[in-house]
Amino acid sequence: MYNVAFVDDSKCIAEKGCRLCIMYCPEADCILLNPESKKAVVITSRCKGCDLCKVVCSTHNAISMHPVDATTGKVQLGADQAESAGLGQAYAG
């Protein structure tokens, strides 16, 4: 079990120009701007669960981390967070 990031559209302000998570994510093409909703969207299959996007979005708190079922690839939004890779925690100090 590992975590992936998930964006809450109701909190994301990407339509106002915010791109913080997209800029800081160390994985290429992992967080994209959804051209229809104008919100950030995490490509689950590319996310390494480092927490960095969650840290940089701390003002709007739009990103949360959730376990993903390694067999089905489905994000388990209601489940408790699994162990973190911790990179974002290091940045948060």
C-alpha torsion 12→64→76→47, nearest 10: 90
- Given candidates 10, 36, 41, 50, which one binds ligand SF4 under the rule CB under 6 A? 50
Question: How many Å apart are CA 8 and CA 35, to the nearest integer?
Answer: 16
Residues 6+ apart with CB under 8 A from 78: none
- Asked if 52 touches ligand SF4 (CB under 6 A), the answer is yes
- Asked if 68 touches ligand SF4 (CB under 6 A), the answer is no
Shortest distance (Å) from residue 70 CB to ligand SF4: 15
Shortest distance (Å) from residue 78 CB to ligand SF4: 19
- Asked if 9 touches ligand SF4 (CB under 6 A), the answer is no
Structure tokens at 29: 């093409």
Tell me how crowded residue 91 is: count the other CB atoms within 10 A of its CB.
13
- Given candidates 2, 32, 48, 81, which one binds ligand SF4 under the rule CB under 6 A? 48
Tell me how crowded residue 77 is: count the other CB atoms within 10 A of its CB.
10
- Asked if 55 touches ligand SF4 (CB under 6 A), the answer is no
Q: By the criterion CB under 6 A, which residues form the site for ligand SF4?
A: 5, 7, 12-14, 18-21, 25, 27, 30-31, 40, 42, 47-53, 56-57, 60, 62-63
